[in-house]
Amino acid sequence: MKIAIVTGASSGIGREFARQIAAWGTLDEIWAVARRENRLQELARTLKIPVKIIPADLTREKGIEMLESLLKQEQPQVKILVNAAGFGKIGDYKNISRLESGKMIRLNCQAPVDVTMLALPYMRKDSHILQICSTAGFQPLPEMSVYAATKAFLLRYSRALRWELMNRGIVVTAVCPYWVRQTEFIQKASTGSHSVRHFPLAGTPEKIVRQALRDSLSGAAVSTPGLVGTAQRILTKLLPEELVIAGWELLRRL
């Protein structure tokens, strides 16, 4: 049985990945992982292939163990893994609690590593791993310090893992979108401190996912859907880091 595993499938980019992958019609099943079971049930009713609903909290060991048990029981061939589960908080150190920071680190860093390690024994040549990072991972971001750091971790992990898996023919792509509208991220990320005033030129889940899948299938190491993300990736390589941070400080106040 050939499957795709999509974490964070209850909303936003994760849900859109499940929809677009299911539309290919080349897989036997989508395994949709998220905390909100009712949202996963709604998703399953809209897809034209079977969906295995896995209501798991990936910040808890019990959620990881649930996925591990299912993989051992069903022995599927994992053709695509999308680690889209994650969240962020906007605000400085006074506005974001220690518990929120810890949860960001567990969900944005530890969870994708755990899920990837569980899936790899079931992946073969021409399988694909898409780690949903962010352009936030290209540079330090005051007022989003922990979130940006978690995405930098995931980006570096993905780039290194890609080399480790080359001899197995498994493609790893770090997907780094800019701001994304029509998702819950911005609303949930806000702490009321108004540290970011506007979110200009934000992309849509549909376009971002379409480009990310296209880039992964072409073997790209990093996907930056949209011109803004691509420009940000280039500029952060060329400009001094302090200048990039100063530019961010200016932009978030506009």
By annotation, the residues acting in catalysis are: 147
- Alpha carbon distance 90, 196 (integer Å): 8
In contact, 140 and 148? CB cutoff 8 Å? yes
In contact, 229 and 178? CB cutoff 8 Å? yes
- CA angle (170, 173, 178) in 5-degree steps: 170
- CA angle (229, 234, 237) in 5-degree steps: 125
Residue located via tokens 């609690």: 97
CB within 8 A of 195, min separation 6: which ones?
Answer: 90, 91, 92, 95, 143, 144, 252
